[in-house]
Amino acid sequence: MDLRAIASDVPDYKVFLTIDELSASSHQLAAEYADIASLRVVGETRSGDPIELLTIQGGPAAAFVFGGPHPNEPIGTMTIEYLSRRLCEDAALRGELGYTWHFIKSIDADGMRLNEGWFKGPFTPTNYARHFFRPAPFDQVEWTFPVAYKALKFDAPLPETQALMRVIDEVKPKFMYSLHNAGFGGVYYYLSRECPTLYDTLHAIPEWFGLALDLGEPEVSNAVPFAPAIYRMLATSEMYDHLEEHGIADPAEVIKSGASSEEYARRHGTFTLVVEMPYYDDPRVNDQTPTDVLRREAILQRLDISDEYDTWMEAKLASVQGYLQQETLIRRAVEAFLRTGKQWREADRQWALASEETNRPATQAELFSNLLGTRFYRMLLLGMFARMLDKELADGNQNAAIEAARDTARARLEEAGAELERDLNYRVLPIRSLVGVQTCAGLAVASAHIAGESTALSA
């Protein structure tokens, strides 16, 4: 399989497609290739929209690929847009891979509609934050699979999660690809199991598209690295143990959600890949030059930045809490993240202070993750806080305290965004490059599995 040739064929996408545009495209593809492609409804979203599974016949093994596991992550929908058409058009590729492919373009369509305000640009960090939405953990499709571990019991999968469970149990995928993406930084990977024969390829693919690996701080402090920018898939049990080990008396009260799709699919021996893709990068995201700042101090500064943002929002929320009338997904998210964020960070603080691996100079990449990356991600919660208040006002709640809090939050968001963009040397990454990396990484892993090139994959 000539991955470089496939990479060169990815269209130069300029914008992200909306939920309605994605659905129309799927129906058009199924009509064009009715001999091998089909669509069927496998569930409904919480608002009653159909969840459609696009199947492309191609071989005895099953591959299951789904986009939008978090609804602020549309890169995967465009990857499916390209890959599904490519598979229909390329009989040789279908035959070489040996899979029948099953796709859901966006598994959280309701949540993704709440992000469509930034899908057509402008693609600045500040505009992204203005229109950003990410659900509370217990409203996230990816993290509401059933789990029972120690004191944590979660058995309330969302309707969208139940649809994923049915598809996984029906097709029993050999290969599953949950199409995530991050916001700022570089490319990094999660794998179900170690797979050393693929690491060189996974490291090389971003270079084909002019993208950097993310060699800064991992997104969670308990991530287990297999290789630079390649980690073991995160597990709820490990997150629970991390909190418990670092001073949280009842981790079940902090987690409040379930297991991941990867954990659920283990029962079928499924190998799962996640490729985290950024919208923006900066020359510092993979700079390994040591700094004169201890990594421990950089981590503690990150936690302090987050605490300051959240303390500010908590005070504003307290000033309006008694006047709020709308029970929306955005409000549920804001309240949940503020309620549990400091407990997660307190565990990280204890880890950073106790761990010998933080007692060394931070690299430029780690300093960037901790100080600049954190400011970007806290802006996103601030953007949701402002949107929560916007919704109240738009629906007729003209309480003066709500309007004042909204105006203050909007002003802080614009100020923080302007300051961050001045401090960054950021680049808006071409959608084509992001789709190319996800496509090529997925095909590399899928091909290795079928070819038996890796005992880890077939274990």
Closest CA to 208 of 428, 10, 453, 423: 10
Q: What is the pLDDT of residue 455?
A: 38
- pLDDT per position as a tens digit, 83-120: 999 999 999 999 999 999 999 999 999 999 999 999 99
Closest CA to 377 of 368, 387, 389: 368
Q: How far is CA 330 from the centre of its chain?
A: 17
Closest CA to 208 of 444, 366, 14, 373: 444
Which band of pLDDT confidence, cut at 50, 70 and 90, is reported for residue 459?
very low
Cα four-point dihedral sign 169, 173, 174, 180: negative
41 exposure class (CB count in 10 Å sphere: 0-12, 13-18, 19+): exposed
- pLDDT per position as a tens digit, 160-198: 999 999 999 999 999 999 999 999 999 999 999 999 999
- What is the arithmetic mean of pLDDT over 427-452? 91
* Cβ neighbours, 10 Å, residue 336: 17
Q: How far apart are the first and last CA of the chain?
A: 23
- What is the arithmetic mean of pLDDT over 396-405? 97
At residue 292, φ and ψ (nearest 5 deg) are: -95, 15
- What is the arithmetic mean of pLDDT over 352-358? 97
- What is the arithmetic mean of pLDDT over 421-434? 98
Bridge partner residues of 265 (DSSP): none
Q: What is the DSSP letter of 234?
A: P
At residue 295, φ and ψ (nearest 5 deg) are: -55, -40
pTM of the model: 0.96
Bridge partner residues of 275 (DSSP): 189
Which band of pLDDT confidence, cut at 50, 70 and 90, is reported for residue 457?
very low
Q: How far apart are CA 241 and CA 348, in angstroms?
A: 12
Q: What is the pLDDT of residue 451?
A: 58
- pLDDT per position as a tens digit, 205-243: 999 999 999 999 999 999 999 999 999 999 999 999 999
What is the greatest pairwise CA distance in the chain?
65
CATH architecture of 3-282+428-458: 3-Layer(aba) Sandwich (3.40)
Closest CA to 263 of 327, 151, 176, 351: 176
At residue 191, φ and ψ (nearest 5 deg) are: -125, 150
Closest CA to 249 of 150, 156, 333, 336: 150
User: How many alpha carbons lie under 13 Å from residue 26 in its C-beta half-sphere?
Assistant: 26
Residues of the chain within CATH 3.40.630.10 domain(s) are: 3-282+428-458
Pairing assessment for the beta strands 175-179 and 61-67 based on DSSP bridges: parallel
- pLDDT per position as a tens digit, 72-89: 999 999 999 999 999 999
Reported as type and span, the H/E element at residue 203 is: helix 199-208
